[in-house]
Amino acid sequence: MTVKEIMVIGAGQMGAGIALVFARSGYEVKLYDADIEALRRGKQYIEKVFEKDIAKGKMEADTKEKALNRLQLVVDLEADPITADFIIEAVVEKLEVKKEVFRKLDELAPTHTIFATNTSSLPITEIAAVTGRAEQFIGMHFMNPVPVMKLVEIIRGLETSESTCQTVQELTEALGKQDVEVKDFPGFVSNRILMPMINEAVYTVFEGIASIEDVDQVMKLGMNHPMGPLQLADFIGLDTCLSIMEILHEGFGDSKYRPCPLLRQYVQAGRLGKKAGRGFYTYSD
């Protein structure tokens, strides 16, 4: 299947990043969000990344303008007929919210349209089941920040067809990224490994073994990680980390995935990380 037009649902950091890489790669892109302020921030983010690329000599000014001209902001899904060949969702990491998004899209989108979810941990098969096109449904998990990170996890649901998987692999290659196909299990590969590490780092602080800064220093200097696990958690969002740990804990029923009480307490306090100005660290604008 030839894909010409992309629609991205959700203009947060992940959605805006996904829209950016598609527009930069020559696709016509519609970025949807019911919140017009979220759309404004999303476009500002895209423009900021492009400006940085120009400053570094990675992009020409006219290339930026062409990419922005391929990007259209949408605040009402029903105002005009959906014409996208491929729709990817990047809304909040909550199962029922994602299901509701795809129920609506299934009614509005053309029958040939492929659906993808950028979920980092939720079951692809279960989300696909709310649509009438499970064979055209797939997981396409981008890494954050999307414009920089090369990996895309591709996750087939039980009914995902070979042609759908091949189309998404070709899209990934067209974006200059590398795909890894994984099975539909909680957390897939990336977060099944990453989140328990972050959770264990939180436990070392909770149990008084080391300070926040020292835990991160051990992983940066001792394991050569570019960023410590607690700083990384702040960038991901502590609410997102907690949600994924709960999904792993429920999905596998194994106590090793039990979220650290301190992580839960930080989320309850509104200390959600960089986006809230405070998590394990404090951030200014």
Q: What is the pLDDT of residue 1?
A: 82
**pLDDT classification of 191: cutoffs 50, 70, 90:** very high
CA 93 to chain centre: 9
Q: Are 132 and 105 in contact (CB under 8 A)?
A: no
* Fold exhibited by the domain 5-182: Rossmann fold (3.40.50)
Rounded percentage of the chain residues whose pLDDT exceeds 70? 100
In the predicted structure, residue 115 carries a pLDDT above the cut 70: yes
Catalytic residue among 89, 141, 199, 243: 141
In tens, the pLDDT along 29-60 reads 999 999 999 999 999 999 999 999 999 999 99
pLDDT digits (tens, 9 = 90+) for 222-257: 999 999 999 999 999 999 999 999 999 999 999 999
Q: Is 249 a catalytic residue?
A: no
Residue spans of the domains in the chain: they are: 5-182, 192-274
> What's the chain's average pLDDT?
97
Average pLDDT over every residue of 69-94: 96
Closest C-alpha among 25, 18, 20 to residue 4: 25
Active site residue 120: yes
192-274, what's its fold?
N-(1-d-carboxylethyl)-l-norvaline Dehydrogenase; domain 2 (1.10.1040)
**Which one of the listed residues 120, 121, 199, 243 is annotated catalytic?**
120
Residue tagged active-site, from 5, 93, 153, 243: 153
Of the candidates 164, 194, 169, the one whose C-alpha atom is nearest the C-alpha of residue 181 is: 169
Active site residue 141: yes
Predicted confidence at residue 105, as pLDDT, reads: 98
Question: Fold match between 5-182 and 192-274?
Answer: no
pLDDT tens column, 143-163: 989 999 999 999 999 999 999
Choosing from 118, 121, 191, 243, the catalytic residue is 191
112 catalytic? Reply is: no
Farthest-apart Cα atoms in the chain, separation: 57
- What is the percentage of the chain residues whose pLDDT exceeds 90? 98
Q: How far apart are CA 40 and CA 74, in angstroms?
A: 11
Report residue 285's pLDDT band, with 50, 70 and 90 as the boundaries: low
